Each structure stands twice: as C-alpha cells, then as structure tokens.
Amino acid sequence: MSTVEDKLRHALEATASEIPATQGRVLSLVPRAGRGRVGGSLRHTATSPRWRRGRWMAPVAAAAAVAVVIGLSAAIATRARSHRGAASSLLTHLGPGTTVPLRSAPAVDGGAVPAYYVVIHGPSTQVLATATGKVLATLRPTGGFAAVSGAADDRTFVLAAARKSRIALYLLRLNPRAGTARLNALPIAVATGASLEFAGLALSPDGTKLAVGVNNLSRTGNFGARIWVYDLATGSHREWRGDGALSDTAIAPGLGRLSWAADDKTLAFDFETGVLEAFLAVRLLDTRAPGTDLSSGRVALRSEEIRATSQPQLESPLITADGTTVVLGQCQVTGAGQGPGCPGMAGSQGRFVPETLSIDEYSARTGHRIAVVFRRRYNVPQAQSGDPGPPPSVLWVNPSGRVLIVSTGAALASQSPELGIVRDGTFTPLRAQGTALTGTAAW
C-alpha cells in the first residue's frame, strides 16, 4: 500500500461495502415527509408557473428557429474566402440557421475591449454586454453547448456540443446593425469515438481556423491527447497526437485550455501530465510546420519552474496575441509551511490560512515571470468551514497583453468573484457577475 491514491481507493471500497448488496429500500415515487413537497401532486409540479412560462416560449423558439436571414453577413466568411478562395468556402454554403433578436451593446474602454461575450448557461446560451452584464440575446439549442470560443472581431463565435461519439460545431454570428444573432451548424464532423473526450476548442483570431482538443482517458494504463485544427474555409484538418503511459502517481492527465496567437498559426495548449511533480506544461505548437506529434510543440512554461520560487497552483493559461507571453491565474497558500493550493485549501495551523490569488504574466521564451497583473489576498477559514470558490482566471487579453478581462476568483464559494478589466495593473470591476467562466464563456 504505497500511494495515497491506493489507500484512498481501498478505504472507499471498504467503506462502501458496509452497505451490503442485499440491502435497499423499494423505490417510492410518492412524496416523502420532509421532502418539502408533501402533498404536491406530480401533475401540479409539472405545470408550475416556471414550466407554464416555458410553454409559450416553445412556439416562439420554434418560430425563431425557422426564420431565415437572407445573405451572409459574415466577416469571417469574407476572411475565409480571401484565405482559400470563394469557391471553396464551406461557410458560404451554410443553411439558413436559427436567428434570434440581438440588442446592441455599449462600447467598452473606447472599443479597446470587446463589447460582446457569449456565456453557456446549461441548456441556454446567452449573448451579454461586457459593460453591463445584460442579456442581449438568448439561444436555446436542443441539448445545449459544452464550450465556446470567439474570434478577434467581437462578432464571430464557434460553439461546440458534445454528442454521442461526436462533437457538433456551430457558428454564431452577431450582427448588431441588423439586430440579429444567427446560429448555423458547421458542416464539420468531429468524431470522438467512445474513449475520446472533448477537452476544449479555440477559434483563431481571424476566424479561419478552429482547434479542437480531445483527451483519451482510457483506464488501461495509457493516456493520450489529440488536437485537430480545422480550416473553416475548406473543412480540411490536421491532427497532432500525444500518447504515453500513466505513472503510479498520475491523476487525470489531459489537455487543458487552447489559445491562438495573433499570427493564426501558433497554438498554445497546456497539458497536465497528472504527475504531481510536473503538473502542467504550456506548449506552443506551430500549426504550419510539418509533424503530427504534440510533444513537438516548444515548452513555454512548466509548473515546476514556477514552483521553485512561489509554489503556485496554475489555472487557465492563455497566450497573448504576439505569442511572447503566457498569462495565467495562480493560487498560492502564503502561510509558513503550507504547500501549493487554491481557494479553500485546507490548513492545519491556526484558524485561518492566508492565500493569494493572482494573475501573472510569464515570458513564453524564458518561462520567467515578467509581471504581476492582478493580486488579491484572503484569509481563508480552515477546511471544514467552507467550499472553495472558483480560481482566478484570464478570460480575454488584448494583443499587447496589457489589457485583460479577468475573473478574480474567490476564496470561498460563499463569496462572489468579480469580473473586471485590468489595465496597467489597475482592476476596474464590470457590472457583470464573475464566475468560473473559463471554457464556457468567450469574448
């Protein structure tokens, strides 16, 4: 019994086996006293006001779904045509799609910061205003979406839906002048198979390429990762692979966040090996260079290099547009004798554990920290006192890396993270609520 993982597995199995296989009540499908709905009938519940509101929404949504927008307003399509030639552009062959009304958003920071962002809220997907946090458009696709990524034009987004054995992709175009947001299914099939799981996606700044990452998390002792980069003009794609064997201490290896540099060819991705001593590495992949090996990507940053000085827990690395800088959130327990940790990390000394949440910039060339963008300190009650809040995360960064949209994170789940703009080290909160948005929101 060597590792903590083994001990934990066996302890859990042994504790679970205290419930014998023969034990078990007969399922009761009537309200149980103390459930809070005593006496309530099933039919009454199904027609509660909330669902009645949904009933009239259904035909409205259906009507919206058949609305046709004449012509393509796609700057992305224009870019795609210039990239590959109009005749070969898949985007010009998109069907009518679904169109919903879109209200316009006020400019932010004189236009230096995107005015629109898209958030996935379970079955509904919303377009919101960065400045106010107000909902400008709502889409309710069947099955919902899993991830979203945006181009640099503040108008073009790609959404992904994880279906059985495939990833369905959709293009969302905002047209504030026409007051519409239009959703089209992209004619690209991403087959993931039974053992591959969707990890994330990133739309290139010019909107012509889409990177899709999947992880192979088979429990056979091996792990693997795939990145596919699709050309949205032609539908063609390239594949990069990374495979390996799990070590004894490995946990949940896999690809993390994907992001593009402004050159539209350099793709940054973080790969968590799962080995505690080398938990995360950020690599830069030249997608125009030959090769199919993910490990051919140059390592820009390794977590253990940073730990030598600050022992952080790294979150959501994002490459800046010029490809020189990696921006990421960190959580660091700053009390003496404490190890790495994020909000809510257990402390064993004293009543509170001091923690620092920060967003830092690292050189993609040397791996050295070059700037602290944002920093906030908390005194966190010990483990039993609360659920940890979301970690800090970088949600958008401008080409120079000096203006960012960040979620501050929170020490505890009972505290609300703030969404804000960081410019030259100064944090200006936005009215919108900040949450753990990484992957489910895009600017």
* Positions in 34-53 near another protein (CB under 8 A): 35, 42-43, 45-47, 50-53
Q: Which is nearer to another protein, 207 or 343 (CB)?
A: 343
| Strand ranges inside 107-151, DSSP E | 116-121, 124-129, 135-139, 147-150
Backbone φ and ψ of 338, nearest 5°? -95, 150
Site for another protein in 187-206 (CB under 8 A): 197-199
Q: Which one of residues 38, 68, 112, 252 is an interface residue with another protein (CB under 8 A)?
A: 252
Q: Pattern of binders to another protein over 201-240, x per CB under 8 A?
A: --------------x-x-x---------------------
Nearest residue to 267 via CA among 254, 285, 280: 285
Q: Which one of residues 325, 398, 408, 438 is an interface residue with another protein (CB under 8 A)?
A: 438
Q: Which is nearer to another protein, 19 or 70 (CB)?
A: 19
Determine, following the binding rule CB under 8 A, whether residue 60 of this chain makes contact with another protein.
no
C-alpha–C-alpha distance, residues 180 and 64, integer Å: 11
Least distance CB 268 / another protein (angstroms): 15
Per CB under 8 A, the segment of 89-97, 151-159, 338-346, 422-430 that binds another protein is: 338-346
Determine, following the binding rule CB under 8 A, whether residue 170 of this chain makes contact with another protein.
no
Partners of residue 125 on adjacent β-strands: 120, 139
Give CA angle at 328 (218, 298), nearest 5°.
65
Q: Which is nearer to another protein, 198 or 240 (CB)?
A: 198
Give the list of residues 6+ apart from residue 225 with CB closer than 8 angstroms, or none.
Answer: 199, 213, 214, 215, 216, 241, 242, 243, 254, 255, 271, 294
Site for another protein in 61-100 (CB under 8 A): none
Residue 229, SS3 per DSSP: strand
Q: Return the exposure string of 345-360: e unless at least 16 CB atoms fall within 10 Å of the residue's CB, then b.
A: bebeeeeebbbbbbbb
Site for another protein in 112-141 (CB under 8 A): 121-124, 126, 135, 138, 140
Determine, following the binding rule CB under 8 A, whether residue 59 of this chain makes contact with another protein.
no
Least distance CB 104 / another protein (angstroms): 17
Q: Which is nearer to another protein, 78 or 440 (CB)?
A: 440
Site for another protein in 381-410 (CB under 8 A): 383-384, 386-388, 390-391
Structure tokens at 206: 């010019």
Count of CA atoms in the C-beta half-sphere (13 A) of 321: 16
Q: Which one of residues 205, 254, 323, 335 is an interface residue with another protein (CB under 8 A)?
A: 254
Determine, following the binding rule CB under 8 A, whether residue 345 of this chain makes contact with another protein.
yes
Determine, following the binding rule CB under 8 A, whether residue 24 of this chain makes contact with another protein.
yes
Residue 126, SS3 per DSSP: strand
C-alpha–C-alpha distance, residues 433 and 118, integer Å: 14
Q: Which amino acid is at 412?
A: L
C-alpha–C-alpha distance, residues 283 and 303, integer Å: 12
Residue 114, SS3 per DSSP: coil
Q: How far is CA 238 from the centre of its chain?
A: 22
Structure tokens at 256: 């993390």
Least distance CB 322 / another protein (angstroms): 24
Q: Which is nearer to another protein, 136 or 152 (CB)?
A: 136
Structure tokens at 50: 């909330």
Determine, following the binding rule CB under 8 A, whether residue 344 of this chain makes contact with another protein.
yes
Determine, following the binding rule CB under 8 A, whether residue 289 of this chain makes contact with another protein.
no
How would you class 278 by CB atoms within 10 Å of its CB: exposed for 0-12, middle for 13-18, buried for 19 or more? middle
Determine, following the binding rule CB under 8 A, whether residue 10 of this chain makes contact with another protein.
yes
Per CB under 8 A, the segment of 9-17, 76-84, 95-103, 371-379 that binds another protein is: 9-17
Q: Which is nearer to another protein, 14 or 289 (CB)?
A: 14
